[in-house]
Amino acid sequence: MSILLYEKKDHIAYITLNNPPLNTMSRELARELIKALHDFDADDDLYVGIVTGSGDRSFCAGADLTDKEHLVDPEGWEADYDWQLANIKKPLICAVNGYCLGAGFGLALCCDIRIASEKASLGTPDQKLNTVDAYASIMLSRMIPASIAMEILMTGDRVSAQEAYRIGLVSRLVPPAELMPTAEALAKKICNNGPAALWACKEINRRARYLSLEDGLSLFKALAGPVLKMEDTREGVAAFFEKRPPQWKLK
């Protein structure tokens, strides 16, 4: 049995954590995940990725506590792992299909768009074990109000899917049966747009969180300038006036 399922179809990458019963994150699974994400980033025929978990009970319920590899350089390994997750250049949609805790929560936060099943729950119980979730500790208060972020981090309590939607941790809340169809429909909609423009938009958004407006605009000029000179930009404008789907060439 493969611990990670990876499928490519119609410009979309489907990446599924497959470590039953709860899809906990072992280092083997983490390595396979990073390998798949790097392949996704390097494949010019893929525009958007969907990350989810197998089954309907759990997206990822945290680190696999039976994996002794986690005892080796835990802080150095996690920092490198989170850095690689956070630096995927293409759009990632996370379809949260159940428990999304600890390492699963960090993975979801690294994705650009999060859609949750109504039965999902999210959070970081690491502190209950006297461990620290790196990505959530660093990024959560940049995504939602700081007081709410700190309550989640300090208590280690789970947040229901409904509460996650209310505070903006997820952008959509759907019945379990509609989770993957909703994620696929959104991915297909994103695929209609220029891939290079999507990558530039993601990078500008990611880096501009830490910049002044002046520096952000300088970053925009550096990253958007080459995109605006591409053949694909002329194709996008032509397709708009000709009322037809654009044919992207990444040139």
Task: Tell me what pLDDT residue 16 has.
Answer: 98
Q: Is the same domain home to 115 and 63? A: yes
Domain that holds residue 205: 195-242
Rounded Cα distance between 143 and 136, Å, is 10
Q: How many domains does the chain have?
A: 2
pTM metric for this prediction:
0.92
Task: Tell me what pLDDT residue 153 has.
Answer: 94
Task: Tell me what pLDDT residue 211 has.
Answer: 81
Give pLDDT < 50 ranges for the chain.
none
Q: Is the same domain home to 76 and 181? A: yes
Task: Tell me what pLDDT residue 65 has.
Answer: 87
pLDDT digits (tens, 9 = 90+) for 13-51: 999 999 999 999 999 999 999 999 999 999 999 999 999
- Of 74, 54, 52, nearest to 65 by C-alpha is 74
Sign of the CA dihedral running 77, 81, 82, 84: positive
Task: Tell me what pLDDT residue 7 has.
Answer: 98
Task: Tell me what pLDDT residue 1 has.
Answer: 76
Q: Is the same domain home to 93 and 163? A: yes
**Residue 251 within a domain:** no
**Residue 83 within a domain:** yes
Task: Tell me what pLDDT residue 208 has.
Answer: 82
Rounded Cα distance between 249 and 196, Å, is 10
Rounded Cα distance between 191 and 93, Å, is 12
